[in-house]
């Protein structure tokens, strides 16, 4: 799965931050304007080969837009280089062999089975007007098996549950055999067991095949457990970046999410625990602040 010229990933448990590999993604001064609004604002971001970087930030911060721009799905200004080559210089087919993007809500072609949808990931390897080969089919069946989806191969994608479908979207990306995986909220619809399974699988691919991962995630504890580094985005700008313990701090999360949390040390990264306020919360209501009193019998003060 490793592309030519891309060195092997670090050994299991080894954190890349201390000994970074060659640069996989170099984003410089990236701006994205949508409908006349600046959504991503002069973002600089470097991801090294074999590294896992997760972008976090409150709703509307610009995480998905940033990821889509890096994946070539949105026009942007500034620089994006993938494995040392400016993204604009890559032909579409070559880019598809390097980068696989899982967006939040991919379009699902009507009537398509899980097998056929996942086979779309093999498109960069199938000659124009050609058919998939036995190798393509084997790659797809392998990925479906790894994601516990083998029994769904002949089912119509539209009939799957939200979580099953989300795993199929990931399967298509993994079947692509790309070196760089861009994952926008890859576990948002998954139960806690499948969240762990999927993230462990991606991490294993990172370790064994040198996969580079750039993800967005809202579950901050999970994000901190898997990322080598994190980037906190707010209003389209990078407001903090570094190892999880530097980004997942109570102060930063209070400032940028307006969240009240406790951050406690975990085995693989900080764990972020929401803490219910003990006094009435102030909620902005069309410019006016209103007090929400505690429910009778639930007054913690
Ligand atoms: N096509 C568009 N035209 C105008 N504004 C857009 C467009 N697409 C996205 N936006 C706006 O850009 C901002 C950033 O959106 P984006 O989806 O990147 O945020 P996000 O950080 O991924 O949010 P979330 O956590 O809610 O998924 C939002 O305010 C959104 O409404």
Identify whether 9 is part of a domain. Answer: no
How many residues are recorded in the chain? 301
Average pLDDT of the chain, as a whole number: 86
Q: Is 61 in the pocket of ligand 1 (CB under 6 A)?
A: yes
Q: Is 236 in the pocket of ligand 1 (CB under 6 A)?
A: no
Q: Which domain holds residue 281?
A: 19-292
Q: Is 37 in the pocket of ligand 1 (CB under 6 A)?
A: yes
**What whole-number percentage of the chain has pLDDT above 70?**
86
Query: Would you give the end-to-end CA distance of the chain in angstroms?
Result: 57
3-state secondary structure of 80: strand
Identify whether 2 is part of a domain. Answer: no
**What whole-number percentage of the chain has pLDDT above 90?**
62
Best residue among 30, 31, 33, 39 to mutate for probing ligand 1, ranked by most atoms within 8 Å of CB:
39
- pTM of the model as a whole: 0.85
Say what the pLDDT of residue 280 is: 64
Is the predicted pLDDT of residue 20 greater than 80, yes or no?
A: no
Strand partners, 229: 53
From the CA of 61, give the closest atom in ligand 1: 21
For 259, half-sphere exposure in the C-beta direction (CA atoms, 13 angstrom radius) is 19
Q: Is 57 in the pocket of ligand 1 (CB under 6 A)?
A: yes
Identify whether 220 is part of a domain. Answer: yes
CB 114 within 8 A of CB 150: no
Minimum CA distance residue for ligand 1 atom 24 = 59
DSSP annotation string for 199-264: HHHHHHHHHHH--EEEEE-S-HHHHHHH-SEEEEEETTEEEEEESHHHHS-HHHHHHHH---EEEE
Identify whether 13 is part of a domain. Answer: no
Q: How far apart are CA 223 and CA 230, in angstroms?
A: 8
What CATH number corresponds to the domain at position 100? 3.40.50.300
The DSSP call for residue 103 is -
Residue 205 banded pLDDT, cuts 50, 70, 90: confident
Say what the pLDDT of residue 300 is: 39
CA nearest neighbour of 148 among 209, 99, 190: 190
Query: What does the pLDDT average to over 233-239?
Result: 98
Provide the number of structural domains found in the chain: 1
Identify whether 12 is part of a domain. Answer: no
Strand partners, 79: 28
Q: How far apart are CA 161 and CA 113, in angstroms?
A: 14
Higher pLDDT, 146 or 32: 32
3-state secondary structure of 271: strand
Identify whether 27 is part of a domain. Answer: yes
Say what the pLDDT of residue 298 is: 44
Q: What's the pLDDT tens digit per position in 101-147?
A: 998 888 888 899 999 999 999 988 888 888 888 999 999 999 999 88
3-state secondary structure of 161: coil
Say what the pLDDT of residue 198 is: 86
Identify whether 71 is part of a domain. Answer: yes
Identify whether 10 is part of a domain. Answer: no
3-state secondary structure of 92: helix
The rounded Å distance from CA 225 to ligand 1 centre is 26
The DSSP call for residue 1 is -
Say what the pLDDT of residue 255 is: 96
Is the predicted pLDDT of residue 295 greater than 50, yes or no?
A: no
Tokens of 259: 């969240």
The rounded Å distance from CA 173 to ligand 1 centre is 23
DSSP annotation string for 36-54: TEEEEEEEEEEEETT-EEE
Query: What does the pLDDT average to over 27-54?
Result: 97
Is the predicted pLDDT of residue 12 greater than 60, yes or no?
A: no
């Amino acid at each position: 799965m490793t592309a030519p010229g891309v060195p092997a990933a670090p050994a299991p448990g080894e954190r890349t931050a201390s000994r970074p590999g060659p640069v996989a993604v170099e984003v410089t001064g990236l701006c994205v304007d949508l409908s006349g609004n600046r959504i991503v604002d002069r973002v600089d971001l470097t991801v090294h080969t074999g590294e896992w970087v997760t972008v976090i930030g409150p709703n509307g911060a610009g995480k998905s837009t940033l990821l889509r721009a890096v994946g070539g799905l949105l026009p942007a200004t500034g620089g994006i280089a993938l494995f040392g080559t400016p993204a604009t210089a890559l032909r579409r087919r070559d880019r598809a062999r390097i980068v696989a993007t899982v967006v939040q809500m991919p379009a699902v072609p009507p009537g398509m089975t899980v097998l056929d949808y996942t086979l779309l990931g093999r498109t960069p390897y199938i000659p124009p007007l050609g058919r998939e080969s036995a190798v393509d089919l084997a790659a797809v069946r392998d990925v479906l098996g790894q994601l516990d989806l083998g029994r769904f191969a002949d089912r119509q994608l539209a009939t799957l549950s939200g979580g099953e479908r989300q795993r199929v979207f990931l399967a298509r990306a993994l079947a692509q055999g790309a070196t760089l995986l861009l994952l926008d909220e890859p576990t948002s619809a998954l139960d806690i067991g499948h969240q762990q399974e999927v993230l462990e699988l991606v991490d294993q691919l990172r370790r064994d095949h040198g996969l580079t991962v750039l993800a967005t995630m809202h579950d901050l504890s999970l994000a901190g457990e898997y990322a080598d580094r994190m980037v906190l985005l707010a209003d389209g700008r990078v407001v903090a970046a570094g190892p999880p313990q530097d980004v997942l701090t109570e102060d930063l999360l209070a400032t940028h999410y307006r969240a009240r949390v406790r951050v406690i040390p975990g085995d693989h990264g900080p764990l972020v625990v929401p803490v219910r306020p003990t006094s009435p919360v102030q909620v902005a209501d069309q410019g006016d602040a209103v007090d929400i009193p505690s429910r009778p019998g639930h007054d913690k003060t």
